[in-house]
Amino acid sequence: MTRKEFVRICGFLGLSLPFQPIISSKERDQNVLIIGAGAAGITAGYLLGQQGISYQILEASMNYGGRMKTNRDFTDFPIPLGAEWIHVSDKELEKIINNPNRTISTQLKKYPRKEQVGYYESGEMTYRTIPAVFGPFYKEQKFVNSTWLTFFEDHLLPEVREKIKYGHQILEVDYSGKKVKLRDQNGTVFNADRVILTIPLKQLQKGMVTFSPSLPDYKTQAIQRAEIWGGIKIFIKFSEKFYPAFTLFPDSDASNGQRLYYDAAFGQNSNSAILGLFAVGEQAKPYQYQVNSEQISYVLDELDQVFNGKASENYEKHIVQNWDREPFIEAAYLSDYESNGLTRELSHPLEDKIFFAGTAYTRENDWGSVHNATRSAHGAVNELLKAISAKP
């Protein structure tokens, strides 16, 4: 089963990973540090707070959200510069919140089966419906006038916000003693009983964090052999809409990357014509290599070929998010074609002191999305709670 088949089946069946509180009140005297305030870090903090466990989140940048980054100035609805779609059942939102008494205000929009998908090859465009292209179980949904980030801001961040400390890039992790010691770029030392590490995998691959003792060979090898895709998103505002819901190419879904154009305003309460470009892996590089005006010219030239010159005629403005240049992240996500054996090695905790959570640190046959990051956070917190309960 491929990753995409797994995603579709999970979306059809509504599968997720349950989070079960397993800790007693006498075992809550713990100090936990979470490294990173992205989806996994915020979720882990939120869950620890539900258990009454003391925690703090150390974030390298000056903003929360990580790859859920959102632009609110480009048009009349928020633009998701990173994570955009929800790939599984909307019941996943309830599982993330983990509280049946909380009302979820977030609205989602499914793609109608009649929506058109364009396929461009050898100078010719053909059109088919979404089920004909993506299969009968296609369950992708868009957030309505919101994003993944606003979902977190509305439902999780209020419980977590005061626990985040910004501008602390952790460079050293010493788990050789009873306490875990962390050192940031300024030499500040933090001590914790346990740590949940959600640093993007690319940062570990580049050796931005040193560990003492050194990481086990299996984990070091998993980190170094992981294929991590770079990525870019470009959003273009046009004076009129001339494109279908999705536009695909022969290389839109390949083992070395993906790319597509899509109607970014789909499902929004807006009349704006906003076209998005999503590209990762090798397919992202031609767009990333261009700079300044050359970049948008390259994109408009490509679109003009597909849509008979309408792109240049209707162009108004654009924004670019090159994830390879995003500080403290520097990539998109782990390749869809990696093995789940590798992600399990990446997620394995160290001596019941260091736990891993994030889009690449999963124990399922799927990764690279926000819901995976939250599931991994649930898993890491569960493992942490078990370790606390098992201590002599």
| Domain harbouring 150, CATH code | 3.50.50.60
Residue with tokens 């160290």: 350
Where residue 186 falls (left for φ over 0; alpha for ψ -120 to 50; beta otherwise) is: alpha
- Cα–Cα distance measured from residue 190 to residue 183, given in angstroms and rounded to the nearest whole number: 6
Q: What 3-state class would DSSP assign to 250?
A: coil
Instruction: Between 15 and 387, name the one with better pLDDT.
Output: 387
As for how many domains the chain has, the answer is 1
Q: Is the dihedral of CA 10, 336, 66, 29 positive or negative?
A: positive
- Cα–Cα distance measured from residue 27 to residue 326, given in angstroms and rounded to the nearest whole number: 39
Query: Could you tell me the two tokens for 152?
Result: 């977190």
Range of the domain at 381: 3-390
pLDDT band at 12; cut points 50, 70, 90: very low
- The mean pLDDT of 218-222, rounded to a whole number, is 97
- The mean pLDDT of 34-62, rounded to a whole number, is 97
Are 226 and 206 in contact by the 8 Å Cβ rule? The answer is no
Are 205 and 223 in contact by the 8 Å Cβ rule? The answer is yes
Q: Name residue 279's amino acid.
A: A
Q: Is residue 266 scored above 50 in pLDDT?
A: yes
Residues 276-334: pLDDT tens digits? Answer: 999 999 999 999 999 899 999 999 999 999 999 999 999 999 999 999 999 999 999 99
- What is the reported pLDDT for 335? 97
Residues 55-89: pLDDT tens digits? Answer: 999 999 999 999 999 999 999 999 999 999 999 98
- Cα–Cα distance measured from residue 288 to residue 257, given in angstroms and rounded to the nearest whole number: 14
Residue with tokens 């466990």: 53
The pTM is what? 0.93
Residues 325-361: pLDDT tens digits? Answer: 999 999 999 999 999 999 999 999 999 999 999 999 9
